[in-house]
């Protein structure tokens, strides 16, 4: 029997890594956007509760109007922190996806953990998640959250505080201790999640067009396409202050306004890329629908209808407001709208063409329109024409496409 503290083991094909008592050293990757009040609770929880006391922690400071860097310098030695700083600090944000990627690329460990500043690690959550990690997999800890958002069964609702200053640490610690023997494992994915660094980089990292929202859903879709397995052990727990760090909670008005705009823009970018909105089952297993080359012929267009319908198709042929819409929307997207939005007189050459009269288009029609990719996947329509609600559909060719790349254009 080898009594060395550190043992070299094979944990991944073509890779060796130091392992201590059955767990690799991990890098916790944590972006910060004026998140000092959260980091002051998050970082101590990792050092207190992680199975290994020598995990790396890298903080990417994307915005600092609250003294984050000054605090990091003060506690650097105490918590053994590394940090990176946006070179355009307080002028232009990287966004959460790019910030994560900078941390992950800088990691010196084989395994990385995508972690939020508004999360507190539960006792041994790192080890309990790592126990399930294998090649081509991503393992999520189970979130414990206060009763602020609906629960579809993918998380645990317990109120241990809604702000970091209110965190009931002893209560959470006791709950974690009571959950240690839970052997439930489900198969969804959400933050915090653990993955082999090189496997994450092999799929291209986060897509830079999804600057601050939906970046995770896009990565999960691409993992799904690449054959990753998702696992969620229910004894590996974090407490999540749910949206505080990002600003999705309306208790901080300015951050919330910024988050709303970023969520709106990123959601449309996600739809432009995948052809549908974010899809997953109740336990957060991604549902990836094929992409179809759809063209929209829009009669009696309005700016509102263009804004609603444009993201779901590859090309738009409109009788009105083409230039106005391009001028209004182009700054919000990486996609070249000047070539995507065409005049009504142009002949559509897409695989599938949708004909819509804006004067007759209803909410019920939009509900169909937003799900057309799933409808096509299920029905696999033959060449020809048919109608769903007030949407006339012409199928010239049925071809399914799945994107593996970071950015499909």
Quick one: pLDDT at residue 246? Answer: 56
- Quote the CA–CA distance of 276 and 306 in Å, as a whole number: 16
Quick one: pLDDT at residue 96? Answer: 93
- Quote the CA–CA distance of 296 and 233 in Å, as a whole number: 44
Q: What are the tokens at 243?
A: 């949206």
Contacts of 144 (CB under 8 A, 6+ apart): 122, 155, 156, 157, 158, 160, 172, 175, 237, 238, 239, 240
Q: What residues pair up with 12 in beta bridges, in sequence order?
A: 15
Range of lowest pLDDT (9-18, 23-32, 33-42, 77-86): 9-18
Q: Which of 3-17, 125-139, 143-157 ranks highest by mean pLDDT?
A: 125-139
Q: Where are the domains of the chain?
A: 7-274, 294-395
Quick one: pLDDT at residue 259? Answer: 78
Quick one: pLDDT at residue 252? Answer: 65
Residue pair 387/368 in contact by the 8 Å Cβ criterion: no
Radius of gyration of the chain (CA): 23
Q: What is the pLDDT of residues 266-312, one digit of tens each?
A: 999 999 999 999 999 999 999 999 999 999 999 999 999 999 999 99
Range of lowest pLDDT (2-6, 31-35, 185-189): 2-6
β-pairing, 315-318 vs 294-299, is: parallel
Q: In the predicted model, what is the mean pLDDT of residues 77-91?
A: 96
Quick one: pLDDT at residue 16? Answer: 41
Query: Measured between alpha carbons, how far is residue 17 from residues 68, 147, 191 in Å?
Result: 32, 40, 24
**Domain 7-274, architecture per CATH:** Alpha-Beta Complex (3.90)
DSSP summary character for residue 235:
T
Query: Measured between alpha carbons, how far is residue 264 from residues 244, 267, 329, 366 in Å?
Result: 18, 5, 12, 17
pLDDT confidence of 402, banded at 50, 70, 90? confident
Q: What is the pLDDT of residues 357-400, one digit of tens each?
A: 999 999 999 999 999 999 999 999 999 999 999 999 999 999 99
Percentage of the chain exceeding pLDDT 70: 92
Q: What is the pLDDT of residues 6-32, one digit of tens each?
A: 232 333 333 445 677 889 999 999 999
């Amino acid at each position: 029997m080898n009594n060395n503290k550190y043992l070299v083991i094979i944990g991944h094909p073509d890779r060796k890594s130091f392992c201590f008592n059955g767990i690799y050293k991990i890098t916790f990757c944590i972006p910060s956007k004026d998140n000092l009040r959260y980091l002051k609770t998050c970082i101590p929880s990792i050092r207190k509760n992680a199975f290994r006391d020598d995990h790396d922690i890298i903080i990417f400071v994307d915005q600092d109007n609250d003294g984050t860097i000054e605090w990091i310098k003060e506690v650097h030695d105490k918590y053994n922190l590394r940090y990176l700083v946006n070179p355009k600090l307080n002028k232009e944000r990287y966004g959460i996806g790019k910030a994560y990627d900078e941390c992950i690329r800088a990691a010196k460990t084989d395994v990385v953990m995508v972690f939020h500043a508004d999360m507190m690690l539960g006792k041994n959550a790192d080890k309990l998640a790592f126990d399930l990690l294998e090649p081509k997999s991503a393992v999520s800890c189970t979130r414990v959250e206060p009763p602020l958002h609906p629960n579809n069964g993918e998380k645990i609702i317990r109120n241990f505080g809604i702000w970091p200053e209110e965190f009931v640490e002893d209560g959470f610690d006791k709950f974690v201790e009571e959950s240690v023997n839970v052997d439930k494992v489900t198969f969804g994915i959400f933050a915090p999640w653990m993955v082999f660094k090189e496997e994450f980089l092999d799929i291209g990292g986060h897509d830079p067009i999804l600057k601050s929202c939906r970046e995770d859903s896009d990565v999960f879709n691409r993992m799904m396409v690449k054959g990753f397995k998702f696992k969620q052990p229910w004894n590996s727990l974090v407490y999540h202050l749910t949206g505080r760090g990002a600003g999705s909670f309306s208790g901080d008005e300015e951050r919330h306004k910024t988050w709303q705009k970023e969520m709106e823009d990123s959601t449309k970018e996600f739809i432009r890329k995948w052809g549908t909105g974010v899809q997953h089952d109740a336990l957060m297993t991604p549902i990836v629908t094929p992409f179809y080359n759809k063209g929209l012929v829009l009669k009696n267009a309005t700016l509102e209808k263009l804004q609603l319908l444009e993201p779901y198709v590859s090309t738009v042929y409109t009788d009105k407001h083409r230039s106005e819409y391009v001028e209004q929307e182009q700054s919000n997207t990486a996609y070249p709208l000047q070539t995507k939005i065409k005049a009504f007189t142009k002949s559509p050459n897409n695989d599938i063409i949708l004909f819509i009269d804006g004067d007759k288009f209803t909410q019920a029609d939009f509900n169909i329109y937003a799900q057309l990719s799933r409808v096509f996947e299920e029905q696999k329509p033959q060449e020809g024409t048919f109608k769903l609600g007030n949407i006339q559909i012409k199928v010239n060719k049925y071809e399914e496409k799945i994107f593996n790349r970071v950015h499909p254009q």
